[in-house]
Amino acid sequence: MERHTTKIDLPPRQRVKPGSKVPRWGWVVLVLFSLAVGVGSGLYFGKRNANPVVERVEEPSGASPAKVTALITEAREAVAKGEWLEARRFFQDVIEIDPENPVAIASLPLIDRRLDEAKGVIAVSTVPTGAVILLKGIDEQTSPARFAGIPLGTHTIRIKKEGYETVERSVTVENEKVIELAGIQLKKSSGGIDVVSEPVGADFKLIKKVGDEPKELIEIGKTPARIEKLDPGEYQILMAVEGWPEYSKMVRIENNRNTSVSAVFAKGGLNITSDPNGAELWIQSGNGNARKAGTTPMSLADLPVGKHTLELRHGDWDPIRRTVEVRDGVTQDLEFAWERALVKFVSDPPGAVVYQDDRRLGNGSEVTPFSLEMPEGEYQFSSRFDRLNEVNSTAYVDSGAGSNVVNFEFDYGKVFIESNPSGAAVISGGVPIGRTPLALSVVPPGSYTYELTKPQHRSTRVSGVVEPGGSLDFSATLKFDAAPVMTRNFTNSLGQEMVWFGRLDGWVGAHEVTQELFERTTGANPSYFKSPNHPVDSVTWYDAMKFCEALTGEESARGTLPEGYRYRLPTDQEWSHFVGVQKLDGAVSSLFERQKSTSPVGSLAPNEFGLYDVRGNVWEWVGDWYSQTIVNRMRNEGATPNESWVGTDRKVMRGGAWNRSSQFDLKVGNRMGAGPSAKDRYDVGFRVVLMRAR
């Protein structure tokens, strides 16, 4: 039906009594009538006041006749459909545009009256049926349910059914049409139970309870058994073994949780459980000594009749003690529980260790922040952070608080050191601590002096006082210093002479490393023949490498290490270069006269490069593994290799030793091989080189 051809016959205007119930069609007619009256009034008064020459209608400022007409048309359609809220919004929009509009003024009171009487309907069905449907603040029914007379607006519906998860929905009633919430699927909730006994094989029954009355026999079987997919609620477990009283216990099954029930059919016994499980149970019978009986949950059978002292221990928690009396033919159920809470330990700075009564917390390895469960009570804690003063704290752990936080605030400051150029080594108390720019985020309060060194630059010092919570910023300029000079020999910080070797573009130690230098650098002397100026012997390849690393670090910290150079062991090829043409009669060996030990370094004349004892005295470690490459070199140099050592974990040694007399051992092309961890070789030492880092 077209709107412009529709004709509505309005009934005679009637007086609406207050509180009277007008049918929906009546309200539609009344409002449409008011629309017609409002429109007619507007036309009549418009013509009466019109200019006789030019018909002009004064419009409100900013009003749009077309927009007003469109809104009234949409309001009329909403009234016809019974969409009262929508119609009211349209008329309110008209009033905002044209406050004197007679149509809106006539219609709004009637619509408001209608809205006061308007009620909606909500229909709800569930799968399965029989759920309790609660329309909050209005009514409660069982599904399928139909709620009539619902005021317009937003309402909350809650759906509950035993054994199923609760569902909550929000529903908005905008008109008198029926709102269908059909086929709401309810999700079944469930839990589980483990039934165990000692001895195994006990008959059991699982019964669902409602109040004090049995409702349903769920399962019959023998222990041990696990029963799953149980509806939440109260259950009774019955267990029996022939010749013993029936065991009965009530348990509550909760959604998504497993519980357990255990029974022990033993004369004069105890069934002991604890919260949490896994507590150590110690028992003392009479005046005897306490003994560990096991961990909970557990059962003790055939205990002597009389009093027993039980003690449950769990980690570093305070133990629980209880005295019980065991009676003949009776098995008692005992439950122990610690009231406990989660405690979080934090500190500033983080990474602190926490103690309680000299026991380290956090599984003996964790540092702040960390959390653990503790029984309720008052505790004394202490926290330690490297180089900072210990912080103590007294805290009460409240099991009802949900979360307890223990915070340790340490006194410390910060230091930032930068240099021009950057990369200077920073030394504090003789110990290198890093390179510039260096940020020290945790520094104990106090006075500090830092030395800044860089190769080929003059060292400098900076000093200051670190206050708690404060920060020191240092900036230093290092003056260039060219020492040591390339192509020239020099003496390093250990007093060891380093000989420039141009072919290798680096320096070679004039002597093998002595026991004195080794001990000064590493703090140890593994030598068999103890003497400060003798070469260190019985040293492993790894020990030699560590010495080189330590010497590199020390020289770098002092600023005496050439840029890009480091101390290390020579390679096999490097050793072959600097061995020179030194003869055997210039070597410490037993070839001409039997030696009884090593000799002081430099006992004989140096080779043409100024290097002492390159042949003899001690075998010298080099960096290479005993490989096929080494075998090929030996053959080329007329030496006899040991091919069985290829692929093993042997490192190469060169030069012979004090206890060698054969031409084979002392031949310059000969190589010895030994494992890098070999330390009982009193004929093995090493020499260092200072070369560019590779």
Report the pLDDT value the prediction gives residue 484, as an integer from 0 to 100.
66
Mean pLDDT along residues 91-113: 86
Domains in the chain: ranges and CATH = 3-117 (no CATH), 119-185 (2.60.40.10), 340-409 (2.60.40), 413-477 (2.60.40.1120), 490-692 (3.90.1580.10)
Q: Tell me the average pLDDT of the chain.
A: 84
Which phi-psi region, left, alpha or beta, contains residue 375 (left: φ > 0; alpha: ψ -120 to 50)? beta
Report the pLDDT value the prediction gives residue 30, as an integer from 0 to 100.
56
- Top pLDDT among 113 and 575 is at 575
User: How far is Cα 540 from Cα 552, in angstroms, rounded to an integer?
Assistant: 19
Tell me the per-residue pLDDT of 397-450, one tens digit each, with 9 for 90 and over. 887 777 799 999 999 999 999 999 999 999 998 899 999 999 999 999 999 999
> What confidence tier does 18 reach under pLDDT thresholds 50, 70, 90?
very low
Residue 381 β-bridge partners: 356, 393
Report the pLDDT value the prediction gives residue 107, as an integer from 0 to 100.
86
Tell me the per-residue pLDDT of 143-202, one tens digit each, with 9 for 90 and over. 898 888 788 778 899 898 876 778 888 888 877 788 888 888 888 777 889 999 877 888
Report the pLDDT value the prediction gives residue 577, as an integer from 0 to 100.
95
Residues in the chain: 694
**For residue 685, pLDDT beyond 80:** yes
Report the pLDDT value the prediction gives residue 644, as an integer from 0 to 100.
94
Mean pLDDT along residues 128-145: 88
How far from the centroid of its chain's Cα atoms is residue 666's Cα? 61
Identify whether the C-beta of residue 261 lies closer than 8 Å to the C-beta of residue 227. Answer: no
Residue 446 β-bridge partners: 466
Tell me the per-residue pLDDT of 276-313, one tens digit each, with 9 for 90 and over. 788 888 988 767 788 888 898 988 877 766 788 888 88
Amino acid letter, residue 641: P
Residue identified by tokens 């009802």 is 400
Identify whether the C-beta of residue 199 lies closer than 8 Å to the C-beta of residue 244. Answer: no
Question: Is the overall model pTM greater than 0.85, yes or no?
Answer: no
Weakest-pLDDT range from 299-303, 431-435, 498-502, 616-620: 299-303
**For residue 374, pLDDT beyond 80:** yes
Amino acid letter, residue 156: T
Tell me the per-residue pLDDT of 575-607, one tens digit each, with 9 for 90 and over. 999 999 878 887 899 988 899 999 999 999 999
User: How far is Cα 374 from Cα 363, in angstroms, rounded to an integer?
Assistant: 13
**For residue 463, pLDDT beyond 90:** yes
Mean pLDDT along residues 357-383: 88
The first and second tokens of residue 252, run together, are: 């509550």
Residue identified by tokens 């008011």 is 34
Output the CA angle 494-499-500, nearest 5 degrees: 125
Buried b or exposed e, range 469-500, using 16+ CB within 10 angstroms: eeebebebebeeeeebeeeeebebebebbbbb
User: How far is Cα 214 from Cα 206, in angstroms, rounded to an integer?
Assistant: 10
Distances, alpha carbon 604 to alpha carbons 74, 497, 595, 655, 687, in Å = 119, 16, 14, 15, 16
**For residue 377, pLDDT beyond 80:** yes
Identify whether the C-beta of residue 65 lies closer than 8 Å to the C-beta of residue 56. Answer: no
Which phi-psi region, left, alpha or beta, contains residue 631 (left: φ > 0; alpha: ψ -120 to 50)? alpha
Identify whether the C-beta of residue 197 lies closer than 8 Å to the C-beta of residue 265. Answer: yes
**For residue 519, pLDDT beyond 90:** yes
pLDDT cut 90: percent of the chain above it = 41
Report the pLDDT value the prediction gives residue 17, as an integer from 0 to 100.
40
**For residue 329, pLDDT beyond 90:** no
- Top pLDDT among 10 and 483 is at 483
Among 533, 524, 581, 552, smallest CA distance to 690 is for: 552
CB within 8 Å of 496: residues ≥ 6 apart: 509, 510, 511, 513, 517, 688
Distances, alpha carbon 577 to alpha carbons 567, 570, 584, 614, in Å = 18, 10, 17, 11
